[in-house]
Amino acid sequence: MKGGCSSYKVLCFSRKFKTTEAEPPPDVRNLFASFSGGRDYMSADQFLRFLVDQQGDVECAPSEAEQILQQVLQRRRSSDSPSDHLVQGFTLDDFFHYLFMDDFNGPIKTQVHHDMSAPLSHYFIYTGHNSYLTGNQLSSDCSDAPIIKGLKSGLRVVELDLWPNSAKDDVHVLHGRTLTSPVTLLKCLKSIKEHAFEKSPYPVIITLEDHLTPNLQAKVAEMVTGIFGDTLFYPQAASLSEFPSPESLKYRIIISTKPPKEYLEKDKVLSDGKESSEEETSGMETPDLEAEEQSESDPDDDESIVGELKTFQQGAPEYKRLITIHAGKPKGGCLKDALNVQGDKVRRLSLSEQGLEKAVVSNGSDVVRFTQRNILRVYPKGTRVTSSNFRPNIGWTHGAQMVALNMQGYGRSLWLMHGMFRANGGCGYLKKPDFLLLKGPQNEVFDPSRPLPVKETLKVTVYLGDGWSSDFSQTHFDNYSPPDFYTKIRIVGVPADAVKKKTKVIENNWVPVWNEEFKFPLTVPELGLLQMEVRDFDRSEKDDFGGQTCLPISELRPGIRAVPLYDKKGEKLKSARLLMRFQFLYR
């Protein structure tokens, strides 16, 4: 802990923990004076002019401005307060408190506003990896609880690993060849049906890692059609030449996996033709993590799953017919062939994070070109046994639609995912920028590593912060004094735009006032994220965490905005927030 008093600790504690009220910064005072005409109150008409001229809310109607003003005043005053307060308008204090209300004055748009009528391949999609795991990749419980939590947060792609139970008569969901405890597929499917569209009406894609016999594949087909009924979408044709749009698939469930062609059995075959018990394949003392990584997203790569070829059986036709998005992975390590765009059909390709890193170096243009019509899924490497995550922006800047992260792997990578998918009303689908979808006259495509001229400059002013004294105990950051807050700011996107900055440290204050301005030149703002983290400076120990947020730059609303903060798990803090100003300066 930071320094305190020795023999006078009680007196020091009492004196130093006196809290102060946040006060309007000079910019807010000047704006109030300007738009109120120097009077003590800002009328509804004057407030409307502020919203239009200063905040860029050009579509705001007079009735809407009046309604916001009245709601703010009613919230700030008791119901028996004199009505003239509601008529006259905002005082400076009212105006300042309005600016700090993120539900009225948040930093990004809250409605779906992207074009949702393009093919699925034209969108970034909120994607989970091993969506059923509650903790680490080796020994945690499998459950429908993380699936439900993900769907409620806007997750649109749920991954399930399917394995036979020990009796070979039912289907379990678990991380194969590990000690994770199973959950039944039936339970997972029922939970998906119940919670799929609580957050978003746009389609939920279930990606299946299939390690099943044809008989069990047929049972899966029965379960899926029985549970989802008309909600389940699948095409009449054997394969698609173009994916449907999110708009056309609203409130629909679709399946993505590799279509089964043949089933390869182990050398040891039971008399009824079924493979040996699950315990023999999954109860290994040391899980083969590298083999698991290689088999990820390739359920029929049976050499790594069940050994040498023993017999052939045809896959269940009912099961094949339900697959809307056909999946696969590079065969024999030939990435160039895997990225070949086929004119008559579209598909999904899966790469590990290392596979993507290699691909963007050797075949970066092919990756972008592939993702213009097809879907690319990127997943964490198999050695991430603690459910940690990789940085997702490499995939996004190359057009990858399904960048799959462990939703229980809390940290900066997952914060980026949360921030990215706050865009477009949090519906889980983000329309990719046009430059990721277009080809040049020489068939050239966007290259995120190629330097481009600055398109715009984002000017960020960090005025002050408040709310920590409500969200944290008096001694959370320090036993004997208030915290010493500073804010770290960085841009994440294409390499040329990446930068880190931070404010000065404000000592011993629950309401830090920074009044600092930063400028960020951006070459590709469409793919940029503004990540911020508040920390309490400590000279002798690691700086304490005080909240974080991540915002898509393309969605930022100009003007002075209230920016809510989130905890390490991405849950919104009740009170802690920043007052900031966003301005875009164009060349």
Which residues are part of the catalytic machinery? 129, 175
How many CB atoms lie under 10 A from the CB of residue 310?
16
- Using alpha carbons only, give the angle 471, 476, 479 rounded to the nearest 5 degrees: 140
d(CA 14, CA 23): 23
How many Å apart are CA 105 and CA 402, to the nearest integer?
31
Do the beta carbons of residue 172 and residue 223 sit within 8 Å? no
Contacts of 288 (CB under 8 A, 6+ apart): 177
What sign results for the dihedral spanned by CA atoms 343, 347, 351, 356? Answer: positive
What's the rounded Cα separation, in Å, for the pair 513 and 452? Answer: 36
**Per-residue tokens: 141:** 């419980």
Contact between 547 and 421 under an 8 Å Cβ cutoff? The reply is no
d(CA 81, CA 74): 9
Find tokens 């900066």 and name the residue: 412
- Strand 485-492 and strand 529-536: the pairing is antiparallel
Decide the pairing of beta strands 529-536 and 544-552: antiparallel
- Strand partners of residue 544: 536
Could you tell me the end-to-end alpha-carbon distance of the chain, in angstroms, rounded to an integer? 48
| Residue carrying the six token digits 């059609």 | 225
d(CA 374, CA 291): 26
Largest CA distance in the chain: 92
